[in-house]
Chain A
Amino acid sequence: MSFGHKHILGMDQLSADDITRILDTADSFKEISAREIKKVPTLRGKTIINIFFEASTRTRASFEIAEKRLSADTLNISASTSALVKGETLEDTARNLEAMHPDIIVMRHGHSGAPHYLAERCNFSVINAGDGAHEHPTQALLDLMTIRDKKGTIGGLTVAIVGDIAHSRVARSNIIALNTMGARVRLAGPRTLLPTGADRLGAEVFTDIKGALDGADVVMMLRIQQERQGSPLLPSNREYSRFFGLNPDNLQRAKEDAIVMHPGPMNRGVEIASSVADGPRNVILDQVENGVAVRMALLYLISGGEKMAE
């Protein structure tokens, strides 16, 4: 049984069967994190380099924990400590890393397509940990795992994604993944933060949170990036919060058993009220827990390579 993917670059490369296989594998790996000895020897002798050109706490910690629990040898490079600040090109950095024979590179980069660029040119496997405003496939997979855990299924659910859709790689990966799995996707955000042609993404578009929440099974809030505040795109946090913030009142429009998700880091009081973020329907920390299992599953599956087994 071969997984057939050497790289994980985006959700667009994964079929519904691939996704189901990843989630099933992640379910099995979840138990390891609950053990007293949280380690299995699966990736013993593999070298993994985590190279993060953008700030990250959660994703990077999650990848590193996943790698260590599978006994891989890991190495972290961040933008501030890398030769890129000395003017080295991405390709030269990659060539130099390649000469040290790593097995997998986990990369986050501010430019869309940077991981794809490496994957085309180098021998190692590449996992995209977020590229520009393009994709963040491991986030979408941990979101799917959380939805499947809580709802038993993904197909047929109505999922509302609310916030800065245009700049969100989390939204993009989730829209693709949810469509692949047969969920109905709704997008809501100020017109300035909706991508042009949002309706062509396979989603229903709302310019008001209320309509998007009506009868939703899953509410996925996105982070409002503070640096956009005061820009022409987003006049003020207070205004945003009034029209697009999730609060106990508008959450009543969603189904009674709806779950509330957030990829973090949260701006409490802006896109999500504290009482909702800490409320009974939030599954935000389940997302983080599932993130480790999903990343373990991906590392395991791509390490099996493209070879055919008996």
Chain B
Amino acid sequence: MSPRETVILDEPAIGRALTRVAHEILEKNKGTRDVALVGIVRGGDHLARCLQQRIQEIEGVELPLGSIDITMYRDDLASRGSLPVGKTELLFPLENKNVVLVDDVLFTGRTIRAAMDALMDIGRPRSIQLAILIDRGHRELPIRPDFVGRNVPTATGEKIQVQFNDNQQPVEVRVCKP
């Protein structure tokens, strides 16, 4: 690790944050009825699976879990080039579901805008809520998370990296200075 990088959350801290977010999701939705988890590829899909496991441990219910790739909904094709396209897998109908959209880092809000557009093209959920591991601020769109693992004030040029191990479990969150 270079001196310009700082670990802000380690594995146990991430675990505690996710457990709290799992409880908050259950509290807000008064249980698991009609709740579905959809993770944004890549990062959010792994976290959505972690939340699904925790909710199963708490309530004994396996929530429907899907993943959504938003590459095709990005607004920066011309400036970013053709990024690799991931897989969207939503094997349950979205109709009447309260969908909890899950992502690792919330920054400008553009990814979430794209994810909501993508979800709406696939079906008509009753509501969309947003769960985020790290909210780093600097929003460019009127988007607000419902569940936050940790608020981290950052400078625009800094990068937040959520590291996953080979089993796609989150192990570390780092801030990298430019």
Please measure, in the bound complex, the distance between the C-alpha atom of A300 and the C-alpha atom of B82, giving whole angstroms: 7
Give the interface size bracket for B toward A: 20 to 34
Q: Are B72 and A40 in contact (CB under 8 A)?
A: yes
**In this complex, what residue of B is CB-closest to A69?**
B72
A310 / chain B contacts, CB cutoff of 8 Å: 80
A31 to B118, CA, bound (A): 13
Partner of B80, one of A21, A31, A42, A309: A309
* Interface 1/0 per residue, A1-27 and B, CB below 8 Å: 111000000000000000001001101
CB distance from A293 to the nearest CB of B (A): 11
For residue B89, which residue of chain A has the nearest CB? A31
- Interface members, chain B 107-164 (any A CB < 8 Å): 117-118, 121-123
A125 to chain B, nearest CB (A): 12
Partner of B82 from the list A27, A31, A39, A304 (CB cut-off 8 Å) is: A304
Q: List B65-104 residues whose CB lies under 8 Å from chain A.
A: 69, 71-74, 77-89
Q: CA separation between A24 and B96, bound complex, in Å?
A: 33
Least CB separation from A3: chain B residue: B82
How far is it, in angstroms, between the C-alpha of A47 and the C-alpha of B77 when the chains are bound? 15
Contact A300 B84 (CB under 8 A): no
Q: How far is the CA of A43 from the CA of B117 in the complex (A)?
A: 15
Q: Which of B69, B78, B122 lies in contact with A305, CB distance below 8 A?
A: B78
Q: Which residues of chain A from 137 to 159 have a CB within 8 Å of any chain B CB?
A: none
Given contacts A40-B73, A41-B72, A42-B73, contact A309 B78 (CB under 8 A): no
Contact status B81-A304, CB under 8 Å:
yes
Cβ of A28 within 8 Å of any chain B Cβ, yes or no, is yes
Q: Is the pair A25, B80 in contact by a Cβ cutoff of 8 Å?
A: no
- Assuming the contacts A35-B121, A304-B77, asked whether A1 and B85 have C-beta atoms less than 8 A apart, the reply is no
- Is A303's beta carbon under 8 Å from chain B? yes
Q: Report whether A41 and B73 are in contact in the complex, using a CB–CB cutoff of 8 Å.
A: yes
A–B pairs, 13, beta carbons within 8 Å: A1-B84, A3-B82, A27-B87, A28-B71, A28-B85, A31-B88, A40-B72, A40-B73, A304-B80, A304-B83, A305-B81, A307-B79, A309-B79
Given A32-B72, A70-B72, list of 12 further CB < 8 A pairs?
A: A1-B81, A28-B86, A28-B88, A29-B85, A31-B87, A41-B73, A42-B74, A300-B72, A300-B85, A303-B82, A304-B81, A309-B81
Hey, which bits of chain A sit against chain B, CB under 8 A? 1-3, 21, 24-25, 27-29, 31-32, 35-37, 39-43, 70, 297, 300-305, 307-310
By a beta-carbon cutoff of 8 Å, the part of chain B in contact with chain A is: 69, 71-74, 77-89, 117-118, 121-123
